[in-house]
Structure 1
Amino acid sequence: MALTIESFDNAQTLTREFAAKLADILETGIEARGRASLVVSGGRTPLALFEALSQKDLDWSCVDITLADERWVDESDDASNTQLVKQNLLVNNAAAARFIPLKSAHDDAAEGVNDAEAGVASMSQPFDALILGMGEDGHTASLFPCSTQINDGLDMSSGKTCIAVTPTTAPHQRISLTLPAILNSRNIFLHLTGEKKKQVLNDALDGAAEVQKPVTAVVNRAPVTLMWAP
């Protein structure tokens, strides 16, 4: 287990420092390989980070962005992570970035897996930076411990980069990056705020089984940097 913790006095400082770190990583990727790739997560926590990052001065036309997971809803639905990213990250300077959605026009998430995998395959890999969140049940991306698909999502030998997920404790079908796809990243970040989330993480890392607290499967296998503020 290799968890590096970067703690900040407040969310504003975390946002400023994290945006600067991500911009440096992306710029390094562009200089070294011609393109850089960024995987982000949805929810309320990253909104300020997206706004700060979107204003960074770098060649965004050379940056590919996708999501760690997506709800299988139309982009017009407020539950859509695609909508959230387009409204909060793909603006300002970052409007020039190339966005690769996980959601497609199929009625069922399972029918859209091949399209999602093709989109992810078109990105520069390993991903230059990948940002995960975590739920209070220990799920990350849409690798839910309550889902029947959790073992598929954690399977390191499946060769899959995306899976369809139907959680029983949260609404909507989902599509999610698998554990091996998540680990195929040069820099993995866990972005959390609040004492409660930090305690959930500490409890998960205190010997919980990976299928019970899937966030531990990432931390157990790769260097992860926790970006945290109270």
Structure 2
Amino acid sequence: MNFKAYPDTDMLVLDLSDVLAASLNSALNGKERVTFAVPGGTTPGPVFDALSQVHLPWDRVDVVLTDERWVPESSDRSNTALLRRTLLKDAAAAATLIPLVADTDAPEDSLDALTEGLKPHLPIDVLLIGMGADMHCASLFPGADRLADALAHNAPPLMPMRAPGAPEPRITLTAPVLRGAIDTHIVITGAEKKNAIHKAQKLQPIDAPVAAILDGAQVHYAD
């Protein structure tokens, strides 16, 4: 991985939003539509706010979350709702959101339909992803019920996932899809995550799932 440290989070936000915009623009110069995969959670929110102001041909950009909690969009834990508030507004409102959640009781009930909706948009052109202090990425958590299946080279694009400490079922892009992204950026903040990502370089993905996507990734870090 390539590791870039910024003096503060403001500089990280400004630089990363410029880098992502340039990567999207470059991809759009080579094809009619591009896929931009993004994380949920609060860390990327300021990056999304900045990126939403950038004038790109957003009507040719398909946006997909790297994972989603199986909750309705009305829930305060919905990554989809968070994405609409932070990225899919202003200039970026023209982008198309590829859904990762549906109105069924469990992700398994909608898995086939969501997978078929995702497949035409693969491979990912630009991937932005976060990492937890436990070295999880997307919903690939250490100790999750189907982690080994999701890390396998022949894993399907999407899988349901349940993990200790996660209060609801998840649906997640799997390791082959994440690893297949053309341009990968990982954003982390705080010394704990800095130590964790360096530790992950020495571990296997079953213990540190983020290790599955570190090869060739650009890490953006600020305290």
| Corresponding residue for residue 25 of structure 1 | 23
1: CA distance, partners of 2:196 / 2:114:
30
Matched-pair contact (CA < 8 Å) for 1:146–1:169: no
1:227 Cα deviation after fit = 0.7
Q: 2:175 aligns with which of 174, 179, 183?
A: 179
Deviations 1:160-213 (A, max 9, x none): 0000001112211000000001112111111001111101112222x3232111
Indicate if the aligned counterparts of 2:25 and 2:56 stay in contact, CA closer than 8 A.
yes
Structure 2: segments with no counterpart, 5+ residues: none
| 8 Å Cα contact 2:179/2:212 also seen in 1 | no
Asked if 1:211 corresponds to 2:180, the answer is no
Per-residue CA distance 1:139-174 (angstroms, 9 max, x = gap): 11001112120001101123x000000111221100
What corresponds to 1:40 in structure 2? 38
In structure 2, what is the equivalent of residue 224 of structure 1? 217
Give the number of equivalent residue pairs: 223
User: In the alignment, which of 11, 14, 20 is matched to residue 13 of structure 1?
Assistant: 11
CA offset at residue 119 of structure 1?
Answer: 2.0
Letter in 2 for 1:94: A
CA contact (8 A) 2:144 2:161 kept: yes
Q: Name the amino acid aligned to 1:90.
A: L
Q: CA deviation at 1:16?
A: 0.7
- Using the size of structure 1 for normalisation, the TM-score is 0.94
Rounded to whole Å, the distance in 1 between the matches of 2:106 and 2:117 is 17
In 2, Cα distance between equivalents of 1:7 and 1:126: 28
> Corresponding residue for 1:202?
198
Moved over 4 A (4+): none
**Helix, strand or coil for the counterpart of 2:135?**
coil
- Contact 1:27 1:36 (8 Å CA) reproduced: no
Q: CA deviation at 1:39?
A: 0.2
Q: Provide, for residues 93-127 of structure 1, a one-character-per-residue CA deviation record: whole Å limited to 9, x for no partner.
A: 0000000110012211112221221221132x321
Structure 2 counterpart of 1:143: 140
1:166 matched to 2:159: no
- Contact conserved, 1:132 with 1:190, CA < 8 A, in 2? yes
State the shift of 1:135 in Å.
Answer: 1.2
Residue 132 of structure 1 corresponds to: 129
Structure 2 CA distance for aligned equivalents of residues 17 and 149 of structure 1: 36
Identity of aligned residues (%): 33
How far off its partner does 1:48 sit?
0.2
Q: Which residue of 1 aligns with 2:86?
A: 88
- Aligned partners of 1:120 and 1:182: how far apart in 2? 13
| TM score, norm. by length of structure 2 | 0.97
| Two-structure CA RMSD over aligned residues (Å) | 1.1
Is the contact between residue 102 and residue 119 of structure 1 (CA under 8 Å) also seen in structure 2? no
1:26 CA drift (Å): 1.1
Query: SS of 1:209's equivalent?
Result: coil
